[in-house]
Amino acid sequence: MDFLDDVIALLSHPATLREMGTLFVLLGSAWLIAGWLKPKPGVITKLRGLRSVAFPILGILSVGAFQIYAVNTHWRLHFAPTIVSLLWAMIGLRIVRFVLQRAFPRAHWVQTFGRAAATVVWTLLALDLFNVLPEIIDWLNGFVIPMGKNHITLWEIMQGFGSVAGSLLVALWLGGLIESRLLAMKGVDSSVQVVLSRVAQAVLILMAVLIGAELVGLDLTALSVFGGALGVGLGLGMQKIASSYVSGFIILLDRSIKIGNLIQVGNDRGEVLNITTRYTVLRSLAGAHFIVPNDTLVGSTVQNDSFVTPNTRVAVQVQVAYGTDVEAVLPMLQEIGALPERVLKDPAPMAYLVSFDDSGMTLELGVWIADPGNGTMGLKSDLNRAILKRFREAAVEIPFPQREIRLLGTQIADS
C-alpha cells in the first residue's frame, strides 16, 4: 500500500502533472511533424529507413531539450528519462526491421520476427524500470560453464548470441545493398555481378562472425580447431557440396555459361534462369524447371546453343515420292521457310536433299531464329502446316510406307 500511495501522491503533484502535460505536447508535436514529413518528396522520403524513425528521433530531440531546460530551472523530472529510453528502443526495433526487410525482401517471417523482437525489448525495458533486470543478470552470471582453462557464464553466452546476431544482420544488410548496386551497374556481365555479390556476402558474413566473437571476448585461436575439423568434414563427407560450390565460382568467373543461354546437359535442355554458387536453374522449352548441380556442368559435356550468339537452327524434314521434281520442290521449301516472322533473313532458310529412303526421298528445311528461349515447337508446327498446304496445292505427293506381298506357287490346304 505504501508503494501505491507514493505513486498516487507523485501523480497528483502539480509538477508531475505539468511534466506529463509537457511530454504529451512534445510527443504529439513530434508525431504530427513526422506524419507531415512522410508524404513530402525529399530526403526523408528517399531514405525509407530514416523515414521510419522520424517520430522517435524528433521525440528524443524535443524531450532532450525539455530535460536541458528542466536542469537549468531545477525542475525534477520523473518520466522524461523513461520516455527517452522507450524512444531509443523504438529506433532500434525499427532499424532492425528495416535491415531484415532489405536483407530478406521476400521472406514472410520478417514481420513475425519483428513482433517477437519488440516483445522481448519491451519486456526487458519493463524489467529494467522495475529494477528486476539487474537481479536476473546476476542470477544468469551465477551459472558458470567451464571451457578448458577459462570459464564462461550463461549471461556471457546470451551476450555472445546477441552480438553475433547483430553483426550478421548488419552484414546481410550491407550484402543486400552491395548486390543491388552491382545488379544496377550497366556494362558489367551478369555472371560477374553475381559472383561479386556472392563473394561480398560471404566475406561480410565471415567478418560479422569474427567481430561478434571478438566483442564477446572469445579467443579466435580456438577457431583453428574448428577449422581443422571442418576441413576433415569437407574431405570425407562433403566432397560433392564443396565441388559444387567451387564449380559455381568457376562457371561464374569463366563465363562459359551465362544467364539466358540455351544449354543441354545430358537429357536436360533449357534456358539458364539463375546461377548460384551451388546449382544452376534451367527452364525447359515446355516450362519445367531443372536444378543442375554446378559440378555436373563442369565435369560433363554441355551443349551451349547460344555460347557465341543466340542464333539457333531449327530444322523440319519431309518425304516426297521418287517421281517428284526435287529441283522444283527445294526452292518451294525455302520460300516457305522465310514466311514466319521469327525466322532470320541472314542466314537465309536453306533446303536440302538428305537421303533416299524406302518410301521416298527425305528433304530438310533449316531456318535460323534469334529467340530459342521462346521455344521451337510452335515454329516447327507452322512450317509443317505451310509445307502440307503448299504440297497439296502443287500436287506434290508425300509417300507413306507400303508393302507388296507376292504369293509364289499355290497350295490348297486340306480342309
Task: Give ∠ CA 84-121-215 in degrees, rounded to 5.
Answer: 95
Can you state the angle between helices 154-184 and 190-216, rounded to 10 degrees?
160
Length, in residues, of the chain? 415
Residue at 41: amino acid letter = P
Please, are residues 361 and 319 in contact by the beta-carbon 8 Å criterion? Answer: yes
pLDDT at 189: 64
- What distance in Å separates the CA atoms of residue 311 and residue 179, rounded to the nearest whole number? 31
Tell me the three cell numbers of residue 184: 544496377
Give the sheet arrangement for strand 361-369, strand by strand. 312-320, 361-369, 350-356
Pick the CATH number of 312-394 from 3.30.365.10, 1.10.357.10, 3.30.590.20, 3.30.70.100: 3.30.70.100
pLDDT at 411: 60
**Count of alpha carbons within 13 angstroms of residue 361, beta-carbon side:** 17
Please, are residues 90 and 56 in contact by the beta-carbon 8 Å criterion? Answer: yes
Please, are residues 62 and 29 in contact by the beta-carbon 8 Å criterion? Answer: yes
Sign of CA dihedral 395, 400, 406, 412: negative
63 exposure class (CB count in 10 Å sphere: 0-12, 13-18, 19+): buried
- What distance in Å separates the CA atoms of residue 9 and residue 47, rounded to the nearest whole number? 45
Helices vs. strands in the chain: H and E counts, helices first: 15, 10
- Where would I find the beta strands (DSSP E) of 197-349? 262-265, 268-275, 279-283, 289-293, 302-304, 312-320
pLDDT at 20: 79
What does the pLDDT profile of the chain (415 residues) look like in tens digits?
444 445 455 556 677 777 778 888 888 888 888 777 654 444 443 445 556 678 788 888 888 888 888 888 877 777 777 788 778 877 777 777 776 666 666 666 666 766 777 777 777 776 766 667 777 777 777 777 766 566 677 777 777 777 777 777 777 777 777 777 777 777 666 666 776 777 777 787 777 777 766 666 655 555 555 556 556 665 655 667 777 778 887 887 777 888 888 888 888 888 888 888 788 899 887 778 888 888 888 888 888 877 777 788 889 999 999 989 999 999 999 999 998 888 998 889 999 999 998 888 999 999 998 887 777 888 899 999 999 999 999 999 998 877 777 777 666 555 4
Q: Which fold has domain 257-304?
A: SH3 type barrels. (2.30.30)
- What distance in Å separates the CA atoms of residue 383 and residue 377, rounded to the nearest whole number? 10
Task: Give ∠ CA 307-308-313 in degrees, rounded to 5.
Answer: 85
- What distance in Å separates the CA atoms of residue 263 and residue 33, rounded to the nearest whole number? 57
With 0.75 as the threshold, say if the pTM is over it: no
Strand partners, 364: 317, 352
pLDDT at 362: 93
- Show Cβ contacts of residue 188 under 8 Å, excluding neighbours closer than 6 positions: 182
- What distance in Å separates the CA atoms of residue 211 and residue 162, rounded to the nearest whole number? 12
3-state secondary structure of 290: strand
CA-wise closest residue to 261 among 277, 287, 281:
281
- Give me the residue spans of the domains in the chain: 7-130, 147-218, 257-304, 312-394
Task: Give ∠ CA 358-360-364 in degrees, rounded to 5.
Answer: 115
Task: Give ∠ CA 352-358-361 in degrees, rounded to 5.
Answer: 20
Quick check: do 257-304 and 312-394 share a fold? no
- What distance in Å separates the CA atoms of residue 263 and residue 229, rounded to the nearest whole number? 39
292: enclosing H helix or E strand: strand 289-293
Please, are residues 57 and 84 in contact by the beta-carbon 8 Å criterion? Answer: no
Give the position of cell 507376292: 406
- Show Cβ contacts of residue 385 under 8 Å, excluding neighbours closer than 6 positions: none
